[in-house]
Structure 1
Amino acid sequence: MTGEAPDYFRPENGAVLTTLLIVRDVDRSREYYQRVLGAGCVREREPCILRFHNSYLVLNTEGGPTDDKPAVQARAPADSATLGCAMNIRVTDVRRVHAEWSSRGGEFLTEPKDHGVEIRCYLRDPDGYLIEVGQAAGILSETGPGNG
């Protein structure tokens, strides 16, 4: 194990939000998230737990129902063209992260695109999960629900 995760196992404030990804090959996905995103491995399998900055990724294999979810099938995305969920990672310099993760083998859909309120780009993990990498560029100064 290469990372510590005391707050994952004993949440300081009562809860910790993690992202569970159902993957086809835990070893392949763990290697990808460690190599490309720089995540630290807290637990290698069953389930695999990775620490990524102030959050966690839990990687588990596909499978049938269990006693606590009796009618649920755990499956990785059927195809990478349909968006059902996406990780959204906020960074201070999206162009730097794009260059760094590209050099580690991350394959982005496009270069970072400036949309006025934010600059963002996307890449996919080995199972087709979409990962948005974005940088705020005025989004908090716009008036909208909850912004004044």
Structure 2
Amino acid sequence: MTLSEPVTQEEFGRISAAFLDGLTMAMPAYFARVEAELVREGEVDLDWLTELQRQVESELALLLGAPAETQREPPVGLIRRRIMEGLAENGCAASTPALQRRGLLPASAVDIDSDLSALHLAWGVAKARRLRALTEEPTRG
């Protein structure tokens, strides 16, 4: 299979489901690291983090369960955005630079868990191939 071969929605769905499984398994440890860094920064009222983790996992399931063409935000971007929103909503925005320095505002799935690198890459390639296939379908006879 080459990068130019199209990906069906079913194939994309399987790859997205595998990425979701990996992300979901990594969330508890990731959120524990976020909490530890916030405690180190002097934040004390962190009860909101448990609910945020639940919300992130739910939103990831919706996002990665959707067809490629409707996934308007990358999964790692969703996690980063929701963490930053949670910090702002709970008076912890001053800790954002510390989280950024520690790689806890993820730029890639590797920042969440290094074991996610292959899944993240597979999802990205599959999404690109799926979107390319969708744009080419009307021109095929």
TM-score after normalising by structure 1: 0.28
| Larger helix fraction of residues | 2
Higher strand share: 1
TM-score (norm 2): 0.29
Whose relative contact order is higher, 1 or 2, with alpha carbons under 8 Å and at least 6 apart?
A: 2
